[in-house]
Amino acid sequence: MGDVFSITFWGVRGSIAAPGPTTQRYGGNTPCVEITCGDRTIIIDAGTGLRPLGGKLAAEGRNKEVDLFFTHTHMDHFVGLPFFAPAYDPSNVVRFWAGHLKPERTLESACRHLMSDPLFPVPPDVFQADVSFIDFDVGATLSPAPDIKVVTAPLDHPGRATGYRVEYQGKAIAVVTDTAHVPGKPNASALKLMRNADIVVYDAMFTEAEFAARPDWGHSTWNEGVRLAEQAKAKTLVIFHHDPSRTDDQLDAIAAEAAAVRPGTITAREGETLAL
């Protein structure tokens, strides 16, 4: 177990959950990824995929100490938070981390806002675990455990977002969502996080044509993901944050096109695990 370094996708859909027959194969839950570093669990984002992940961690007894990092607190990345089972077990330690809210707000205040009348029936005080909210300075390198390094960098997203690079046992997994790009000007933060990474998860919500119509919506394309991954000499590119209206068949077509341009490129599917 000590050597395991893997990523599992619990939600790959952007903006809003999209259940139904046309999204079944790639999945309809909103962003949540589990990164396993030996016996420790790092979670990035609390989309609707967080609920089944929390249930699994509790069932397997892997919930005693959990660190959950937020890219940001837009609803698709936040709404699963009250349904995170490990936060309700008094024998657990749960740390929530965010870098995009300083200095105007705190993560705890955002959580209190989400879990307050008339949006939610009970406040975060119902959590029974030893819960802490940590607001860090974006750009900092964090160390949730002595052998785990989490590098952070600011992304290009309305209201700000944070990208992450988790390093463990000499390998690296980067999660770079939600972010826009400027055509022809590779994003320095994205490159920093992706440099020589083994796995890069990248916001590919838009096609190039959709991006051209919405360059300021804070999302990018798989084509830009390929350009960045090449420049950063990253290994496996995983395209992520699928548009909620994209059907499985459309995603199959995108997956084939992206893998033809950069062999080995993966289109994220809910339930899939990639191990290093």
Binding site for Zn ion (CB under 5 A): 14, 74, 76, 178
Burial of 118 (0-12, 13-18, 19+ CB in 10 A): exposed
Sheet holding 40-44, edge to edge: 130-135, 93-98, 65-69, 40-44, 32-37, 5-11, 273-275
Do residues 61 and 90 touch, judged by C-beta distance below 8 A?
no
Side chain identity at 53, as an amino acid letter? Answer: L
**Chain residue whose CB lies nearest Zn ion:** 74
Side chain identity at 258, as an amino acid letter? Answer: A
Least separation in angstroms between residue 157's CB and Zn ion is 6
Between residues 205 and 232, which has the closer beta carbon with respect to Zn ion?
205
Between residues 167 and 224, which has the closer beta carbon with respect to Zn ion?
224
Between residues 34 and 76, which has the closer beta carbon with respect to Zn ion?
76
Least separation in angstroms between residue 107's CB and Zn ion is 15
Least separation in angstroms between residue 218's CB and Zn ion is 6
Least separation in angstroms between residue 105's CB and Zn ion is 15
Between residues 74 and 165, which has the closer beta carbon with respect to Zn ion?
74
User: Residue 146 corresponds to which tokens in the numbers above?
Assistant: 């002595």
Q: Among residues 15, 12, 62, 58, which one has the least CA distance to residue 42?
A: 62
Cα–Cα dist 241/250, whole Å:
14
Burial of 208 (0-12, 13-18, 19+ CB in 10 A): exposed
Between residues 11 and 14, which has the closer beta carbon with respect to Zn ion?
14
Least separation in angstroms between residue 32's CB and Zn ion is 11
Cα–Cα dist 153/161, whole Å:
9
Between residues 40 and 74, which has the closer beta carbon with respect to Zn ion?
74
Least separation in angstroms between residue 210's CB and Zn ion is 15
Length in residues, the chain: 276
Q: Among residues 187, 192, 241, which one has the least CA distance to residue 74?
A: 241
Between residues 70 and 96, which has the closer beta carbon with respect to Zn ion?
70
Least separation in angstroms between residue 178's CB and Zn ion is 4
